[in-house]
Structure 1
Amino acid sequence: MATIEVQGTLFDALASETASAPSPRAGQPALTSLTAVRRTHLSAGAWVDVRPNWFVGADDVYAALLAEVPWRAERRTMWDSVVDVPRLVHTYAAGDKLPHAALAAAREALSAHYLAELGEEFMTAGCCNYRDGNDSVAWHGDTIGRGRTEDTMVAIVSFGNPRKLALRPRGGGRSIGFTMGHGDLLVMGGSCQRTWEHAVPKVANAGQRVSVQFRPAGVF
């Protein structure tokens, strides 16, 4: 299957925005403007927004995620075997306290920015801990809940070492890729969960990376 790299990395965004971003005090991350998101229209009403360097001073958030999230390993039935899920996970339900105040601020900022388009707020925060290049996510769409029949959004913030998020049309077609770096934001919207699939492929060498996925209620 051919692969198109729509954007090689999210690190390269908007020198003007980066230059004007607030300079946080030590241990005080800040969010840059969401008006600078770049939208890539896919097919069948799906789209992806990216905002490189959304978090300024993301190290403190990353450290809190590694230290404070009650990470757990899962096992899953696949074919005739029970196998380890290749990553650590935890989900914060609506109303749960998040491990860093900046994550709560990020969820509020996303809710405010996308409210007119989404029609509701982001509520939950799913966390994935990719310990190295062997940890991954297979091709899937978030269609267990309302995403199976409704347009929705999933907003992903990445912390730590860069990893590629790949997308491809459901049913086959050329894939595209976005490499998410430390503090980068990617939002999948429209029909993306129904008509496209996404994955984090294994790689030969990679450092640790944590992603936080903000979703509306009832989207899994």
Structure 2
Amino acid sequence: MAAHLQGSLFDQTDPIDPAGRAGGTDGAGGIGPGPLTGVRRSVLGDGAWLDLLPGWLSGADALFVHLARTVPWRAERRRMYDREVAVPRLLAFYGAADPLPHPALDAARDALSARYAAELGEPFVTAGLCYYRDGRDSVAWHGDRIGRGSREDTMVAIVSVGEPRDLALRPRGGGAPARRVPLGHGDLVVMGGSCQRTWEHAVPKTARGAGPRISVQFRPRGVR
């Protein structure tokens, strides 16, 4: 399932084996999150905010290869108007009781839960994965409003591995130019406050040569 990835010169680790190890003896092989002290927050308006930390996850390219090869990706089809269409990306979901596909993701989820405990008031518990194979894969404008996100402030933390793709954001209902944040190679973005209710986000299709990318979305209980 792995697609060709152009590795980052700033994110080099030893190759991983099929079990997810890459050098060392700790089972994670130097793949994992760094400190969260460099997070930069942008206030979006209407109670929404965005935190960004480029390159938070070290060994991100090796992690991409591991996830692309080992995650049980599924292709979905959805009803759109009068016909059924293919969802333009591959998907996987890990519930609160499911083991994550690499220990680096456990470490990332724990670090995010600790960092945002005071604001969120609860841990991140689920992980949704999206595999964007090339520039034709995308996700349309939406907010994570299934469940509590439709009526409560919440958070969604996204870690991206693989080639960068733009995360676009705009106020719900339009009325302002969309903001674009390129994410890949271990970058972290956290959407918080009212962001899921008052703003929308998307990964647009692109005609430029786009390499493969996997995003990992950590969410608290009852948010999809």
2:180 to 174, 177, 180: 177
1:77-116 superposed matches below 5 A = 77-116=79-118
Counterpart of 1:60, as a letter, is A
Instruction: State, as a whole percentage, how many aligned pairs show the same letter.
Output: 63
Q: Is the 8 A contact 2:32 2:108 kept in 1?
A: no
CA deviation digits over 1:62-109, x for unaligned, max 9? 122111110000000001110000000010000211111000000000
CA distance in structure 1 between the aligned counterparts of 2:170 and 2:74, rounded to whole angstroms: 29
CA distance in structure 1 between the aligned counterparts of 2:128 and 2:160, rounded to whole angstroms: 12
Q: Is the 8 A contact 1:28 1:60 kept in 2?
A: no
How high is the TM-score relative to the length of structure 1?
0.88
1:6-85 superposed matches below 5 A = 26=23, 27-85=29-87
Give the CA deviation at 1:61.
Answer: 1.6
CA deviation digits over 1:146-196, x for unaligned, max 9? 000000000000010110000000011221110012100000000000000
Task: Report whether the alignment pairs 1:201 with 2:204.
Answer: yes
Give the CA deviation at 1:59.
Answer: 2.5
CA distance in structure 1 between the aligned counterparts of 2:68 and 2:80, rounded to whole angstroms: 28
Give the CA deviation at 1:30.
Answer: 3.1
Give the CA deviation at 1:60.
Answer: 2.6
Larger CA deviation: 171-180 vs 84-93: 171-180
CA distance in structure 1 between the aligned counterparts of 2:32 and 2:73, rounded to whole angstroms: 25
For residue 194 of structure 2, what is the aligned residue in structure 1?
191
Higher helix share: 1
Give the CA deviation at 1:29.
Answer: 1.1
